[in-house]
Amino acid sequence: MSLRTQDTFALYRLPKAKDHFLVKQKDGAYESLTPHSFQQKGFAFHPFQESDEHPAVFIRGDYQIRNATINFQSTHEKEVVATTEDLYLEEIGDFIEATKEDFQKLILSRIKVIDIPAGNLYHLFEALKATHPTAFVYLINITGIGCWIGATPEQLFCQNGKGETMALAGTQRDLGIPLSKVAWGEKEIEEQAIVERYFQNILANRNIDYIKSPCHTVRAGNVLHLCTNFQFNPQGQVYDLVADLHPSPAICGMPKQQAKQFILSHELHDRAYYCGFLGPVNIKETTNLFVNLRCMQVLKNKFALYVGGGILPDSDPHKEWLETEMKARTLSNVIEKVYLSEQYAV
């Protein structure tokens, strides 16, 4: 199936699933994501911060095709500026100082640009599926908005009879040792604990009983994270609950609203749909929403990768830069494998 930049669609594969699905509209126009959207079938795509340029989008499920094979190349054009190491180190100084005075935690992000023309993005989607079997892998195109692709490890909300969410934070390189043997430093443990406490408070404030797993290590591409899973009955509060959960401290900071405003006023780029959320709504009687991490905007002749990390008072600026480089390699390695190999040469 050949698709064009004027088509509005989402191609996705759920974590650990064998099949992938195409959700496509009959026309290119999109709807706004509203509480009513969660009573329809379709796909949600929400930015970090809603704006006229980056609205919260609902892609109607006019067509739902299992294991669709598509041919699609992005022709979107936009000026995107990469974050240099010098600029990042200058920014992080302000973030560290702010955590010493006003915040328990802040998230600083950056953009890395890969100057490789994107060929048929279905090849990249398939490669991400293979290299990230436990991630939510997606390819989205929305007319007038743009094209994004990614493989995110973080679930925001799932409803399939019961509700589920996860507190995911802390990062280190995957050295291949058994997950039960992985050791974590105090900085990463506290970073994840902040997110865990935040989710507990939201559920408690809504009088929602929950079951919580022990904190454990999970693998996401070439990195590891700390994770705690929650199960609960959302009691019909889906839209309001999702609105409370987003953005979590794992992508924003604490206190949440003040941290969000600090990020919006101090980061020198627009996060757009990075650190937003996305996923199928009422497809196969299930809603699955994920935090938009390990993602990139696909332009005509380049990829703009968005990566970030948690900043605490004792953060080491150079180590934080290296962590973002490590996270970026999760995607850039796959891009190079697909588009610089003879098999997919375009």
Digit-coded pLDDT (tens) for 82-140:
999 999 999 999 999 999 999 989 999 999 999 998 899 999 999 999 999 999 999 99
At 346 the pLDDT is 44
pLDDT tens digits for range 252-303: 998 989 999 999 999 999 999 999 999 999 998 899 999 999 999 999 999 9
The percentage of residues in the chain with a pLDDT greater than 90, rounded to a whole number, is: 80
At 187 the pLDDT is 87
Q: Is it the case that residue 344 has pLDDT exceeding 80?
A: no
The percentage of residues in the chain with a pLDDT greater than 70, rounded to a whole number, is: 99
Angstrom distance (rounded) from CA 265 to CA 250: 18
Under 8 Å CB-to-CB from 51, ≥6 apart: which residues? none
pLDDT tens digits for range 150-160: 999 889 999 88
Distance spanning both ends of the chain, measured CA to CA = 18
At 172 the pLDDT is 92
Q: Which residue is listed with tokens 């669609």?
A: 9
Under 8 Å CB-to-CB from 272, ≥6 apart: which residues? 47, 48, 53, 54, 146, 297, 306
At 332 the pLDDT is 94
Mean pLDDT for all residues in the chain: 93
pLDDT tens digits for range 14-45: 999 999 999 999 988 889 999 999 999 999 99
Transcribe 138-186 into DSSP letters.
Answer: EEEEETTTEEEEEEE--EEEEEESEEEEEEEEEEEE--SS-GGG----H
Angstrom distance (rounded) from CA 38 to CA 40: 5
Q: CA dist 317 to 167, 239, 243, Å?
A: 24, 37, 32
Q: Looking at residues 222-244, what average pLDDT do you find?
A: 88
Per the CB < 8 A criterion, the answer to whether 86 and 115 are in contact is no
Angstrom distance (rounded) from CA 281 to CA 135: 18
At 345 the pLDDT is 47
Q: What are phi and psi of 323, to 5 degrees?
A: -65, -40
CATH architecture of 9-344: 4-Layer Sandwich (3.60)
Angstrom distance (rounded) from CA 90 to CA 66: 47
> Using 50, 70 and 90 to split pLDDT, how confident is the model at 240?
confident
Q: Is it the case that residue 343 has pLDDT exceeding 60?
A: no
